A = this chain, B = another copy of it.
């Protein structure tokens, strides 16, 4: 049930190219994420090569969601720091996520509005195209 127990002998460890295939993130980006502090510490093989765990993959999936929200990398790094610092940062993490959520909602409202304009224009062009065809 505890974390150390779940780290059994059979735990799968992925090379960087396996993680690239699984996440769609390039090896460059994965190394860069680690460099800038966007990853919890990544395990290494005896020869120093990265060995990612399923937990790392989960984290990368979550980071992908944050990216999809449009959150900046700087904010994602801040969030990762807070996670590393432990439970007493929960409130700040929630704040950060709530701010992000508000931005997403604003973004979606903007998109909805722009979409309406697009729909209108496309309808106009569709009408022109039809009347052009009729004229022939």
A interface vs B, CB < 8 Å? 62, 65-66, 68-69, 87, 90-91, 93-94, 97-98, 100-101, 104-105, 107-108, 110-115, 117-119, 121-122, 125-126, 128-129, 132
Number of copies: 2
Contact of B108 with A122 in the complex, beta carbons under 8 Å = no
> A97 contacts which chain B residues (CB < 8 A)?
118, 121-122, 125
Min CB–CB distance A76 → chain B (angstroms):
13
Residue in contact with A118 in the complex, picked from B69, B107, B117, B118, CB distance below 8 Å: B69
Min CB–CB distance A104 → chain B (angstroms):
5
Contact of A128 with B68 in the complex, beta carbons under 8 Å = no
Question: Complex: how many Å from CA A66 to CA B115?
Answer: 9
